[in-house]
Structure 1
Amino acid sequence: MSVRPTRSLGALFALTAVSAVLVAGCTSNTAPAPSTSSAAAAAGSTAAAATGSSAAPASGEPVVIGFSAPAADHGWMGAITKAAVAEAAKYPEVELRQAEATNDVNLQISQIETFINDGVDAIVLLPFDGAALTEVATKAMDAGIPVINVDREFTSPLAARATVLGDNYGMGVSAGSYICSQVGDKPDAVIAEVAGIDSLPLTQDRSKGFADALSDCGLSVTNRVAADFTVQGGETATSNLLQAAPKIDALWNHDDDQGVGVLAAIENAGRSELLVVGGAGSKNMMDLIQGGDSVVKATVIYPSTQAADGIKLARLIVQNANLGDLQSAGVPRTIQLFAPVVTAENVAEYLPNAFES
C-alpha cells in the first residue's frame, strides 16, 4: 500500500528531531541546577519535552518524597505506580513514602496533609481529581514543599513546582497521521473511532487531534462511538459500531485497556478487513503488533512513566539539580511527553516500558 506523507506526520517527525523526551525508561539520570520550593519562585521555562541524558551524581543529599496516586483499577494506572516505585529505588538517598492508592478524593487530600505535617522534602501527586486536590497542593507549596503534579492538572499554577503531562491532542494527531500514511490514498476510506469517556477533556483533545490529522489527508471520521476505558465498555461500544459500519478501513481506539474489549468485538463479528491503531501503549497490543498476524498494526504511546519522571524531577529539585542538555537553569515548570507511534518496525524499542492491560 502506498504511503502518503502529510503535514501532520511531518510535523510530528520534526518535533521528534528537535525535542528530546523525558521518559524514565529511555533516558539516563540528569545533571544539576537551581531550584525553588515556593510557588512564586517557580516561574521558569515551559518545555514541550525535555531530556535527562547527561549523568548526574549517583547520589546526593537525602530526599524524602511523598507519593500519592489513584487506585490501580486500570492497567495504565497500575504501571504508573510501579514505575514510580522502581524509579525511587534507583537512588540510595531517596526515601519514598507511598500513600495507599485511592479514588477517594477526601482520603487523598488527607494523605497530602499528612505529608505536609511530616515535613517531606517533595510531593509527587497524580490526583484523582486535579481540581479537588489544587487547594491542598497549594498548601504544600506554601509550606515550602515542592509539588510535582502528574497527568491530571491542578486548576492553579501556584499548586505545583513542576507538572509532567502526556499529550492527549498529540495522541490523536499521531494516530490520525499514521492512518493517513496507510489509507490516505483512498479518498473514500471509512475511518472509525472508539473514544473513551466523552465528557472528559482528555477524550475531547484526543478526538480533536485525530480529526485534525485526518483532515490533512482529506479524510474524516465516518463512524464514532464512545466507551468508558473498560474492557466491557470497549466491547459493547465496538459491537454497536461494527453493526452500523459493514466495512471499515481503519479504526483508532483511544485506550489499550478498553482495546481488549474492542478486539473481542472485532473477533466475534468475524471482521478482518480493517487495520486497528491502539492508544496508550500496552504490552498486549505491542505483542500483537510484533506478531504481525493481528488487525492491530500500531499503538500510540501515552507514557506510563509520568510519575517516574515526577520522582526524578522531585529529586533534582530538592538537590538543586538541573535537567541535562538544557542551556537554561532550573527544572522546567511543565514537561509534556511525546506521543510516538509504535509499529512493527520500532516495537522492540518500546516493549520494555509497556504495561499489561
Structure 2
Amino acid sequence: MLFGAGALAAGGFLTACTSNSDDGGDGGGENDNKAAVADKKKGKQVTIGFSGPQADHGWLNAINDQARKRVKEYEDITFEPVEGSNDAATQSGSIETLINKKVDVIVILPADGKALTQAGLKAMEAGIPVVNLDRIFDTPQASRCWIGGDNYGMGVNAGNYIGEALKDKKNAKVVELAGMDTLELTKQRSKGFRDALKNYKNIEIVARQAAEFTVESGQKKMSDLLQAVKKFDALWNHDDDQGVGAENAIKQAGRDDFLMVGGAGSKHVMDQIKADNTVIKATVLYPPTMAASAIDLARALGQGKGIAGMAEFEIPASITLYSAVVDKKNIDQYLPTGFK
C-alpha cells in the first residue's frame, strides 16, 4: 500500500530497454531479442489501461504522477486511466470497463489485492495481460507480471542502518512507529526490522505503536510513544506521510535526543536529511518510480518484446525493487526522486 538505486535502475533499465525492433526471432541463430537495443523510438501502438486506489496519500499520488509522466515519454502509447477508488467493488467495475474497451494491457494497483484478484483473472481470461503493481493478487494467474517494493527488505535495511549507528552504544533502546497492523506489508516491515536488529545484541526494541499512514495518526501514536518511553536512542517510522505528524509530536515534546529513520522517501523528509538540523537522519525508500516501470513493462507486453540486458524473449514474471537507505552521504543523488 503506502508503502534506491534499485528503483532508479529498474526504471532506466526498462525504459531504455524495451525492444522496438520489428524483427521477430525464429528461435535459431543469434538471439534476435538482443531485445535490447531498445529505445524510445516509436513502435507498435499500445493502449494501456491504468487502475489504482484513490490518491489520498502522498505516495499514491506519486504513483499516479509517475505513470502519467512515463506515458508522455512515448509516442506509441494510448493511455486509458480510470478514476481511482479505495472501494474494491468500484475499482473492479472500472477494470471491467477497461476490459470492455479491449485495451491491450492493464496496469492494476489494487486497493485490496485479495478483493481485486477476480478482476485481474477476468482481464487475463479476456486475453488482456495484466501488470500487477505492488499490492499482490491472491494468485499469480491474475497477472502476467508483478512489480513492487520489498517490504521485508525495507525493514531489514532500516534495522541495519540503526544497528550500525548504535552498535557501540551499551543497552541501546529503539522504538517503532509502524503502519496499519491489518496490512500484510506492515507485518513484513516489522519482521524485517526485528530480524535485522537480532544481529545487534546491545539493542532492544522497547516500544511499538501502529499508526494509519496519516499525519493525524502519526502525531497521536508518536505522542503515546514519547510519553511511554522517556529515553530511547532511535526511532523507525514506517511511512514518511505519517512521519509529518510524528515530527509535530517530537517538536511539541521538545525532544532531540535520538535519531529518526523514515520510510518511503518523501521530498519533505529528504529536505530534512539534506539540512541535517532535525532528528531525521535517513529514510528507507519504497520507490513510486515502480509505476513508471510498470508502464514500461506494459508497453513491452503490448508490443510482444522483452527487455534489454536479459537473454529471454519475454519480460520477467516478477520484479522486486530494492529499498535503498538515503542519508546525508547520498542525499544529492536521491533528492530528485522525493515525492510530495
Structures share fold, TM-score greater than 0.5: yes
Task: Give the equivalent residue in structure 2 for 1:193.
Answer: 176
Task: Give the equivalent residue in structure 2 for 1:5.
Answer: none
Measure how far apart 1:24 and its partner are. Answer: 2.8
- Aligned pairs for 1:1-357 within 5 A: 22-24=9-11, 28-32=15-19, 55-218=38-201, 219-356=203-340
Matches of 2:105 and 2:13, distance apart in 1: 24
Give the paired residue count.
323
Measure how far apart 1:20 and its partner are. Answer: 8.2
Measure how far apart 1:133 and its partner are. Answer: 1.1
Measure how far apart 1:158 and its partner are. Answer: 0.8
Verify the 8 A CA contact 1:25 1:353 in the aligned structure 2: no
Measure how far apart 1:22 and its partner are. Answer: 4.7
Matches of 1:311 and 1:317, distance apart in 2: 10
User: What SS is found at the alignment partner of 2:62?
Assistant: helix
User: What SS is found at the alignment partner of 1:70?
Assistant: coil
Verify the 8 A CA contact 2:17 2:38 in the aligned structure 1: yes
What one-letter code is carried by the residue in structure 1 that aligns with 2:319? I
User: What SS is found at the alignment partner of 2:114?
Assistant: helix
Matches of 2:20 and 2:75, distance apart in 1: 20
Task: Give the equivalent residue in structure 1 for 2:24.
Answer: none
Verify the 8 A CA contact 1:211 1:220 in the aligned structure 2: no
What one-letter code is carried by the residue in structure 1 that aligns with 2:320? Q
Matches of 1:288 and 1:20, distance apart in 2: 22
Measure how far apart 1:328 and its partner are. Answer: 2.8
What one-letter code is carried by the residue in structure 2 that aligns with 1:126? L
Verify the 8 A CA contact 2:20 2:39 in the aligned structure 1: no
Measure how far apart 1:118 and its partner are. Answer: 0.9
- 95 and 32 in structure 1: CA distance in 2 versus 1, 3 angstrom threshold: same
Measure how far apart 1:32 and its partner are. Answer: 2.8
- 178 and 349 in structure 1: CA distance in 2 versus 1, 3 angstrom threshold: same
Matches of 1:53 and 1:181, distance apart in 2: 40
Measure how far apart 1:25 and its partner are. Answer: 6.5
Unaligned 5+ segments in structure 2 are 22-34
Matches of 1:238 and 1:220, distance apart in 2: 18
Task: Give the equivalent residue in structure 2 for 1:39.
Answer: none
Verify the 8 A CA contact 2:269 2:280 in the aligned structure 1: yes
User: What SS is found at the alignment partner of 2:116?
Assistant: helix
- 325 and 133 in structure 1: CA distance in 2 versus 1, 3 angstrom threshold: same
What one-letter code is carried by the residue in structure 2 that aligns with 1:149? N
What one-letter code is carried by the residue in structure 2 that aligns with 1:195? A
- 162 and 27 in structure 1: CA distance in 2 versus 1, 3 angstrom threshold: closer
User: Residues 318-337 of structure 1, C-alpha deviation per residue, up to 9 Å, x if partnerless?
Assistant: 11221211123310011000
Identity %: 47
- 28 and 116 in structure 1: CA distance in 2 versus 1, 3 angstrom threshold: closer
**Higher mean C-alpha displacement, 343-352 vs 200-209:** 343-352
User: What SS is found at the alignment partner of 2:282?
Assistant: strand
**Higher mean C-alpha displacement, 276-285 vs 106-115:** 106-115
What one-letter code is carried by the residue in structure 2 that aligns with 1:24? G
Relative to the length of structure 1, the TM-score reads 0.86
Verify the 8 A CA contact 1:238 1:265 in the aligned structure 2: yes
Task: Give the equivalent residue in structure 2 for 1:49.
Answer: none
Unaligned 5+ segments in structure 1 are 1-12, 35-51
What one-letter code is carried by the residue in structure 2 that aligns with 1:179? I
User: What SS is found at the alignment partner of 1:224?
Assistant: strand
User: Residues 19-47 of structure 1, C-alpha deviation per residue, up to 9 Å, x if partnerless?
Assistant: 7865437874214399xxxxxxxxxxxxx
User: What SS is found at the alignment partner of 1:298?
Assistant: strand
- 232 and 213 in structure 1: CA distance in 2 versus 1, 3 angstrom threshold: same
- 298 and 24 in structure 1: CA distance in 2 versus 1, 3 angstrom threshold: same
